[in-house]
Structure 1
Amino acid sequence: MPSNGPPKTEPRSPEALRAEIERTRAELSTSVTALREEVAAAVDWREWVRTHPMAAVGAAFTLGFLLGQRR
């Protein structure tokens, strides 16, 4: 016989719901902090130069060359 919808669960107590909300809030806070750190590292030009030194030199050379050609 096919089942009709999701299985029935018993209602949780207010204390259990509050505990789950607090646990979810803590997980969300940790995720937001990690995301902030990743974004800060991604847009920090010093970090980019540190991890890609040859590309940074190439970009600086190209930009200097292009700006020098404008005259």
Structure 2
Amino acid sequence: MAASNGQLPRTSAALREEIERTRAELATSVSELREEVAVATDWRQWVRRHPYACVGTAFLVGYVVGSRR
């Protein structure tokens, strides 16, 4: 018997297998995303990659905060 979209109905075992595969892919994607976010927000990496920009920014922030008196 054909389903309404023209495909054969899936068995419960096939559906479970697809769900497990999707869960595994999602877990992998979430893990990769966490690592990317950790790298992107690591201030030590920013200082290593852009030392002059970080020193300049720190100087500017210090100047602005110090000149508010």
TM-score over 0.5 for the pair: yes
Select which of 44, 48, 51 maps to 1:50: 48
Percent identical pairs in the alignment equals 62
Gaps of 5+ in 2: none
Kindly indicate whether structure 1 or structure 2 has the higher relative contact order, using CA contacts under 8 Å at least 6 residues apart: 2
Q: Distance in 1 between matches of 2:5 and 2:66?
A: 71
Normalised to the residue count of structure 2, the TM-score between the two structures is: 0.78
- What is the aligned residue count? 66
- Give the RMSD, CA atoms, in angstroms: 1.7
Q: Deviations over 1:9-68 (max 9, x none)?
A: 001111111111111000000010111111112222112112222210110111222233
Gaps of 5+ in 1: 1-5
Normalised to the residue count of structure 1, the TM-score between the two structures is: 0.77
Q: Distance in 2 between matches of 1:14 and 1:68?
A: 68
